[in-house]
């Protein structure tokens, strides 16, 4: 039965990651990548996360997923863009990856904790898992146990594991003090009561949902009338969403206000521009265009051609700047 228990924990782990994804795609700092997680967007998000300060466990996941070492000098995930199709399918619940490294990478991209799976499963107390296994092995057909008494005893002890509550208690010898009480048929599966979440847990989720709705309402009401933005030459301007564009020609499209992008600016670079911080991390980003290359003060996507912005490298500087 140990195998079944681990399978149940793994199922909880996957669902917890999907729950984190559903939150991050709406209000997370990487929502512009996760709102519509295409293979290319997930690849770019992966590069951004690992280019910052990857943890040892995360580097191990990267190595197992791509079968290559991570290096800041080159985006080694680019040739494997198609592998991110499984990650997107996992988020949407369309597939259940056979390889755990796919699930682990999905956890990294939404910054789910605790991760990896080996750390997650330690959250559940081993003694309580053993108790659940014992209850699953009980042959209740030998005893006549009233339903109410069985339910009372099996729901008295709870073990909390990240959004999943297992309720269980080791049954004691049952003595029927009322002889006239008719025993209920013994074909009862105690595991049903064990794994069902307590009713009180439903109120927990309802409360969380109400809080999120309330926060969303407050944010919506607190926003100024200008809730959209439009690219203007080298920066974004906050405008009214119902602004009518007059005149001829193709005007930049109007986008919903995105606080993570509204401060994005195109910058003019030269030999004296500072491209890296003291730790060697790029602070200038670039994207190629039909006429050459544009540089920006942050990450995201090129407002005019929608190409993903990438951190500058010495190679790019030597080729396009230091001529």
Locate the domains of the chain by residue range. Answer: 2-122, 125-198, 264-323
Percent of the chain past pLDDT 90, that is, above it, reads: 25
Predicted confidence at residue 168, as pLDDT, reads: 41
Instruction: Give the neighbor-by-neighbor strand order of the sheet with 266-267.
Output: 266-267, 292-296, 285-289, 310-311
Q: Give residue 224's pLDDT band: very low, low, confident or very high (50, 70, 90).
A: low
Predicted confidence at residue 253, as pLDDT, reads: 78
Q: Is 205 left (phi over 0), alpha (psi -120 to 50) or beta?
A: alpha
According to DSSP, the residues that pair with 161 across neighbouring strands are: 164
When pLDDT is averaged across residues 224-237 and rounded to a whole number, the result is 81
296 versus 77: which is more confidently predicted? Answer: 296
| 190-203 tens-digit pLDDT | 444 444 445 567 77
| 67-84 tens-digit pLDDT | 888 887 777 777 888 889
Computed on alpha carbons and rounded to an integer, the radius of gyration of the chain in Å comes to 27
- Indicate the average pLDDT of the chain: 75
Instruction: Lowest mean pLDDT of 130-139, 142-151, 296-305, name the range.
Output: 142-151
On the CB side of 211, how many CA atoms lie within 13 Å of its CA? 6
Q: Which of 30, 28, 44, 21 is nearest to 90 (CA)?
A: 21
Predicted confidence at residue 11, as pLDDT, reads: 87
According to DSSP, the residues that pair with 158 across neighbouring strands are: 167
When pLDDT is averaged across residues 309-314 and rounded to a whole number, the result is 91
Whether this model's pTM surpasses 0.75: no
The yes-or-no verdict on residue 296 having pLDDT over 90 is yes
Predicted confidence at residue 200, as pLDDT, reads: 63
Predicted confidence at residue 180, as pLDDT, reads: 44
Classify residue 103 as exposed, middle or buried by CB count within 10 Å of its CB (0-12, 13-18, 19+).
Answer: buried
Contact 239, 254 (CB under 8 A): yes
The yes-or-no verdict on residue 149 having pLDDT over 80 is no
**Crossing angle between the packed helical segments 39-52 and 84-91, to the nearest 10 degrees:** 100
CB atoms inside a 10 Å sphere around CB 114: 15
The yes-or-no verdict on residue 252 having pLDDT over 60 is yes
Predicted confidence at residue 142, as pLDDT, reads: 37
Contact 125, 161 (CB under 8 A): no
The yes-or-no verdict on residue 106 having pLDDT over 60 is yes
Instruction: Lowest mean pLDDT of 52-61, 85-94, 225-234, 272-281, name the range.
Output: 225-234
- Report d(CA 292, CA 133) in Å as an integer: 64
- Report d(CA 68, CA 92) in Å as an integer: 27
Q: Which of 21, 220, 190 is nearest to 111 (CA)?
A: 21
Predicted confidence at residue 5, as pLDDT, reads: 72
What 3-state class would DSSP assign to 321?
coil
Kindly report the backbone phi and psi dihedral angles of residue 186, in degrees, each rounded to the nearest multiple of 5, phi listed first: -90, 5
Predicted confidence at residue 137, as pLDDT, reads: 56
43 versus 130: which is more confidently predicted? Answer: 43
Classify residue 169 as exposed, middle or buried by CB count within 10 Å of its CB (0-12, 13-18, 19+).
Answer: middle
Predicted confidence at residue 91, as pLDDT, reads: 92
When pLDDT is averaged across residues 228-241 and rounded to a whole number, the result is 87
Contact 246, 265 (CB under 8 A): no
Predicted confidence at residue 188, as pLDDT, reads: 41
């Amino acid at each position: 039965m140990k195998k079944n228990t681990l399978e149940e924990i793994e199922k909880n782990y996957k669902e917890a990651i999907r729950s984190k994804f559903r939150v991050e795609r709406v209000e997370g700092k990487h929502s512009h990548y996760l709102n519509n997680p295409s293979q290319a967007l997930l690849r770019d998000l992966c590069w951004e996360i690992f280019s910052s300060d990857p943890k040892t466990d995360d580097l191990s996941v990267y190595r197992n997923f791509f079968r290559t070492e991570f290096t800041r000098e080159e985006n080694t995930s680019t040739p494997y863009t198609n592998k991110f199709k499984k990650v997107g399918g996992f988020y949407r619940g369309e597939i259940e990856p056979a390889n755990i490294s796919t699930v682990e990478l999905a956890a990294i991209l939404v910054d789910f904790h605790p991760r990896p799976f080996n750390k997650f499963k330690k959250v559940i107390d081993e003694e309580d898992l053993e108790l659940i296994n014992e209850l699953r092995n009980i042959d209740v057909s030998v005893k006549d146990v009233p339903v109410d008494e069985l339910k009372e005893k099996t729901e008295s002890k709870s073990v909390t594991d990240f959004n999943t509550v297992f309720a269980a208690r080791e049954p004691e010898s049952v003595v029927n003090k009322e002889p006239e009480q008719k025993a209920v048929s013994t074909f009862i599966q105690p595991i049903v009561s064990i794994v069902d979440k307590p009713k009180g847990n439903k109120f927990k989720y309802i409360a969380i949902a109400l809080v999120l709705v309330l926060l969303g309402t407050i944010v919506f009401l607190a926003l100024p009338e200008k809730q959209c933005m439009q690219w203007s030459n080298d920066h974004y301007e906050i405008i009214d969403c119902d602004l009518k564009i007059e005149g001829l020609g193709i005007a930049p499209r109007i986008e919903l206000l995105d606080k993570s992008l509204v401060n994005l600016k195109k910058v003019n670079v030269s030999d004296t521009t500072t491209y890296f911080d003291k730790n060697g991390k790029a602070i200038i980003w670039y994207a190629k265009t039909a006429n050459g290359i544009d540089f920006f003060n942050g990450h995201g996507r090129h407002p005019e051609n929608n190409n993903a912005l990438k951190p500058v490298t010495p190679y790019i500087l030597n080729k396009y700047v230091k001529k």
